[in-house]
Amino acid sequence: MSNTWIKMCGLKQRAEIEIAVELGVDAVGLVFYAPSARAIGINEIDELLPRELKGTQVVALFVNPSVEEVQAALSSGRIDLLQFHGTEEPEFCESFGTPYLKAVGVEAAVDTVEIEANLHRYQSARYFLLDTFDAQEHGGTGTRFDWRQAAALSAVTKQKMILAGGLNPQNVGDAINRVKPFGVDVSSGIEAAKGRKDIIKMKQFFEGVRRA
């Protein structure tokens, strides 16, 4: 039975978050990137989050935000981790005094040595998130990259790696067995439609991880 860390991202409804908490996921992700179909506003944080999260952490996802945007989310007092999905420099990510994870888009044409060098710049990150590179979407594409790249990085990096990109209830067990990541992150793979989660798929994904 796998104890792989689980994050469900892009949740927009309180009921979705409540289900995730009841399942026992390690983290839920709130998207603060306006172009995304999964985006919410800073003023929605309190209304979306249950008072009791039972140990589930709240991750705030940004793409090249301003300092003020990040500080506004942190001022809610409900954010445990920051997730930076753009080209933010390490100094920027570190400047808020809050643990962060840095997302890195993986391209087929880029070898793992180059990716590892990029990861090395973010040594202060609590986690690295490997996702499929997409210059427009910045995550949540539902497309997977070559897991052999992730497996090679997982074997050499000393940081805790989170695998994302095209994961769903059907393939997450295989992904865990092949890559052996610290954690997995899912968004589109548990959706009924873009921006709306499917409760059955959420449960199936959680069970798929635990069975791995």
Catalytic residues: 9, 131
Q: Report which of 204, 201, 205, 181 is spatially closest to residue 191, judged by C-alpha positions.
A: 201
CA angle, residues 74, 76, 80, in degrees to nearest 5: 50
Within 10 A of 192 (CB to CB), how many other CB atoms are there?
Answer: 11
In the three-class reduction of DSSP (H, G, I as helix; E, B as strand; rest coil), residue 208 is classed as helix
Q: Report which of 25, 11, 31 is spatially closest to residue 56, judged by C-alpha positions.
A: 25
Rounded Cα–Cα distance for residues 167 and 165 (Å): 6
8-state DSSP, 63: S
Q: Is the dihedral of CA 67, 70, 74, 80 positive or negative?
A: negative
User: How far is residue 187 from each of residues 37, 134, 149, 173, 200, measured CA to CA in Å?
Assistant: 11, 15, 21, 16, 14
